[in-house]
Each structure stands twice: as structure tokens, then as C-alpha cells.
Copies of this chain bind each other. A is one copy, B any other.
Amino acid sequence: MTPKRLLIVGGVAGGASAAARARRLNEACDIVVFDKGPHVSFANCGLPYFVGDVIQDESKLLVASPELFRDRFRIDVRTRHEVTAIDTDERTIQVRDLTADSLHTEAYDALVLSPGARAIRPPVLGIDLPGVFVVRTIPDSRRIRAWLADHQASRAVVVGGGFIGLEMAENLSHRNLAISIVESAPHVLPPLDPEMARPVEDHLRSQGVNLLLGDAIAKIEQGEDHSLVVRTRAGVELATDLVILATGVRPETTLAKASGIALGRRGGIRVDEHMRTSVPGVWAVGDAVEIREVMTGVEAILPLAGPANRQGRIAANDIFGHASRFRGVQGTAVCGVFGMTVASTGVSERALAREGISDYERIYLHPGHHVGYFPGAKPIRIKLLFRPSDGRVLGAQAVGEEGVARRIDVISMTIQQGGTVYDLEEAELCYAPQFGAAKDPVNLAGMIAANVLRGHLQLARWEELPDADVLVVDVRSAEEHAGGAIPGAINIPLEELRGRLAELPRDRELWLYCQVGQRAYYATRLLLQRGFRVRNLPGGIQTYASFTSPAE
């Protein structure tokens, strides 16, 4: 039975996609979109850049207006209309017109919930003071812009060091504010593992950002002249002109819950692969739903625009009888941080640990984003996680200035298709001197991982280094060794190794390293064939630095 009347709650990414797709599939159906806010289909990912004045024209953020929906799609968009209740038996919803302050009942054949998520506001004193902001809507960012202008703000405290927090830090810094970031986790960017977040933290500090990790705000107090004072649990006092709350979001599930629609284990609306909720006739999409992470099969909440858009299409497909299914999420994400790019896909090591998965191995590498002989090569720091039992790629994280998203996208595509490190090894990728390398960073990651799987090298774990009863050997040049080395390491340059084998013990494991791992790999092959017991410290001293205490 093709629905004659489709109602959609929430008109941003997922809801707007569902509405437009529905119209393309069915000209006859009535389609009405309700949004309690003043806008639909706005670019919420652009808000930090609007605050930062990188995007100067507010109207650019409006991807599609109600008029466009009406004229182009014959879709009835009603902004400032809040859906307050669902009667899933009668298939009706109750809608409050916030402008007229009136209540109506609307009947549906199919209902799509796309209510989004709301910002988490830490429950501390002063959290509602003027000058404390979240960044979820255009009016939110308009208020921040006005505050910056009205109060000649020169200092900001950003609470939360995730993607939005760092984007806000960058953008406020772009407007010449001095920035403090307070992050309760021991490192920024929770999707990353700590050692991969480390270079981002170093970079933030080098840009003058005051980073308070493993700390949280305890209280916000009114200072003089509209200024604020943020006090942290660790007792730090930060005088500031404004506070940005970016501690994450929570699925907006009030309506769904009140209507008897089942929530999942993580607190989002539970849906199947067709985006159907537990209640017939009701679909849900976007930030409010709980989806499956493809690698672990675990339920996840991933408030990102890409999946939301695809979910909207898939819900509409299902409503009108077209086959498609949502494949789950990999958590592919990217973030610009003061000229640095951070991206990841698949699972992190921490996520593996959380799920009790130990069948994984990890490598680190630091290739240039293009060949070194062409001017301007920038290193990319890559961590690759893979499964020794079958070679499957599990996840990757990358940090660098150039070409980061490209490599993560290629690995994301590999993961989506169930690919292995051998697929990375043999990938045929774009190469010209200014665009990459004959052995692209993706190939190198695959080659190193495949070498591990083939037993050509064994990896040591950096975490075990301090307590390991091993001899650490630095195979770099004497000059490089003198410039800074792992404490206790002896130095035998690769080029001298064959002639100095007598200096190495045969009854003790050797842990080799160099600058990034390549020479240590050569040395490993050499020594293994001569009967030594050898492991490789992956990623060399470049990675070592990320496992030691931060240089404050």
C-alpha cells in the first residue's frame, strides 16, 4: 500500500533527504515536513565557519528554503511547528504552531522521525549565564557573532575537544581570540587513539591554544563587564569573554519515547536496516537513531551528515517499496585543526578494547603526502589496524597537512567492501610527483601490514618498552642518534650492521627502531636471517614521541 500522506518530523539533513527522495519516488503523495526551528535544510556543519567569518554570508548556510521545497518538490514545509505527540494507533501527530501558538492534529500513512540531537549541557552552576553558548543552529551562531561584536571578546573557553570543539577553537582563534580548551578525556578527539591525538595536541599548543586535558568545568561565574570566570575541577580559573559548550550531543528521543517507540542500548531510536522503528508506519533517521558499526556489529550513535542523508533516502525507498538497506556506519570523519587535517575510518584501538576484541594488529607510518623529491611534501602520520587472522582492514587514523582525507577515503572504501591489507598493498592509485608516490601511503600501509602477516617482521608494542627486558637498537646514523634517541638504546647504523653483528646478543630480544620504521625493517630482515631474535618498534622514533609524556 503506497502511503498517501507522508509526514516528516525535522527538516535538516535526514528529514530533508527523505522528503526530497519521497517526492522523486512518488508524485501523488502529500508530503509535509515539520520543524520547530526557523529553518530547514541548513548547513549545520558550516556553523563554526560562520562564527569564524570564513563563511560571511548567513544565507549561504540555507541549503534549501521552504519555498524551494514547495516550488521544486511540492513539499509543504512548516517551520516553527513542533510535533508534540504521536498516536501510533490512530496514525496521527499533534503539532504546535509556535508562531500562532495553536495545536493541530495531522494524520499520516507514513511518518519519518528526524528530530536530530541536542547539545549536552554539563550540569554545573552558571551554565545558563549570558555568554555561554552551544553551536547547533543558525540562531545559535548568530548570537555568538553578535556577542563577539558587542563585547569585543578577546578570550574564549571551549568546553570539549571533539570535532566541533576544535573547529570552534580554530574559528574563534581566526577572529583573534585567545583560546582555552577544557576536555575531560585525557586527549582531544575521542574517535582517535591517544597517541594519534598527541600530534594534534602539540599542534594546538604551538598555535597558542591553552589545552586543559583530563579536566572539566566545575562552575561558571559572572565576572566584570559581561566577562565570565570558568573554574575547573582541577582548580584552574579561566577568565573569559565567552564559553562554547561542545561536549557532544544526545539523540533527541523525547517524542519517540513518549510514543512507545523503542530505543536502543545506547539511547537512540532503534531502527532496522530499512530505518524502520519498532512501530509500524514509523521510520527514523539521522542523529537520533542508533545504528550498527559495521566492523564490531555494536550499536553506535554517530551524528554525522553523510549517514543522515543516506538514511533519509533509504527510509523513503522503503516507504515507497524500493529495495535498499543501510549498511551501518564505519565512523569515517575528518576535521580541520589550524591547518592540520585529522581523519579516521573504521574502529579505533580503544573501540576494539572496549568490545574485548584482541585479534588485531597495528602499525604506524609517516610517509610524505607526495614524493620527497618534489617540493612541498608533507608527512602524514598513519595508524592502521588490521586483523591477523584474515588480513581484514579494521580501521585507520591519519594526521597531516595534505592528502589526509584522500588516504582515509581509500581505506574507508576498502573497509566497506570487506577488503584486506593485501588489497591496500596492491591498490593502483593516482601517481604523479605532485600527487603521490609510486608506492602511495596507502600501498605502504598495506605492504607493512602484509609483511607482518607473512611473518617477515614481528612488531613490538611501544607500551611494553619501559619494562621490556630487551636490547633496543637504533639503526639510524650516528648523527641522528646523537640528536635524540630512546634512553638505553645502542646505535648501530643500518649501513654498518652486517659488519658489527658480533656486538649484538643472541640470547636477548632486539627491538629495532629508526626514524619512521623503514630502515629498522631492513635491519629486521637482515638480523632475522642471521638468527637473531628481533622485533620492530613500529613507526620509529616519530611514533615513540607520541607514547611518551607530552612536552608541556
Tell me the count of chain A residues lying within 8 A, CB to CB, of chain B: 91
Which A residues, 414 to 443, have Cβ-Cβ distances below 8 Å to chain B? 414, 416-417, 419, 423, 425-436, 438-440, 442-443
Contact in complex: B434, A26 (CB < 8 Å): no
Contact in complex: B433, A409 (CB < 8 Å): no
From the candidates B304, B341, B410, B428, name the one contacting A435 in the complex (CB within 8 A).
B341
Contact in complex: A60, B373 (CB < 8 Å): yes
Which A residues, 304 to 345, have Cβ-Cβ distances below 8 Å to chain B? 304-310, 313, 322, 326-327, 329-336, 341, 343, 345
Q: Digit string of A367-379 for contact with B (CB within 8 Å is 1, else 0)?
A: 0000111110000
Could you say which residues of chain B place their CB within 8 Å of the CB of A74?
Answer: 498
Which A residues, 17 to 37, have Cβ-Cβ distances below 8 Å to chain B? 23-28
Distance of A456 Cα from B322 Cα, bound (Å): 11
Interface segment, one of A154-162, A180-188, A241-249, A522-530 = A522-530
From the candidates B306, B327, B530, name the one contacting A438 in the complex (CB within 8 A).
B306
Contact in complex: A494, B72 (CB < 8 Å): yes
In the complex, how many angstroms separate the beta carbon of A40 from the nearest chain B beta carbon?
Answer: 15
From the candidates B73, B343, B405, B428, name the one contacting A306 in the complex (CB within 8 A).
B428
Contact in complex: B413, A374 (CB < 8 Å): no
Contact in complex: B405, A416 (CB < 8 Å): no
Asked if A264 is an interface residue, CB under 8 A from chain B, the answer is no
Contact in complex: A436, B54 (CB < 8 Å): no
Asked if A66 is an interface residue, CB under 8 A from chain B, the answer is no
Which A residues, 366 to 421, have Cβ-Cβ distances below 8 Å to chain B? 371-375, 405-406, 408-410, 412-414, 416-417, 419
What residue in chain B is nearest A71 (Cβ atoms)?
Answer: B495
Distance of A332 Cα from B430 Cα, bound (Å): 6
Interface segment, one of A41-49, A116-124, A128-136 = A41-49
Which A residues, 187 to 218, have Cβ-Cβ distances below 8 Å to chain B? none
Could you say which residues of chain B place their CB within 8 Å of the CB of A416?
Answer: 423, 426-428
Distance of A433 Cα from B42 Cα, bound (Å): 13
Q: Digit string of A338-361 for contact with B (CB within 8 Å is 1, else 0)?
A: 000101010000000000000000
What residue in chain B is nearest A167 (Cβ atoms)?
Answer: B432
From the candidates B45, B46, B308, B426, name the one contacting A327 in the complex (CB within 8 A).
B426
Supply 11 further A-B pairs (C-beta < 8 A) apart from A27-B530, A310-B425, A413-B423. Answer: A24-B525, A28-B529, A306-B438, A309-B438, A331-B428, A332-B429, A341-B435, A345-B428, A405-B429, A412-B427, A416-B426
20 A-B contacts, Cβ less than 8 Å apart? A13-B438, A23-B525, A26-B529, A45-B371, A55-B373, A55-B375, A60-B372, A72-B494, A72-B519, A305-B431, A306-B429, A313-B447, A405-B430, A405-B435, A406-B409, A408-B430, A409-B430, A413-B414, A413-B423, A414-B417
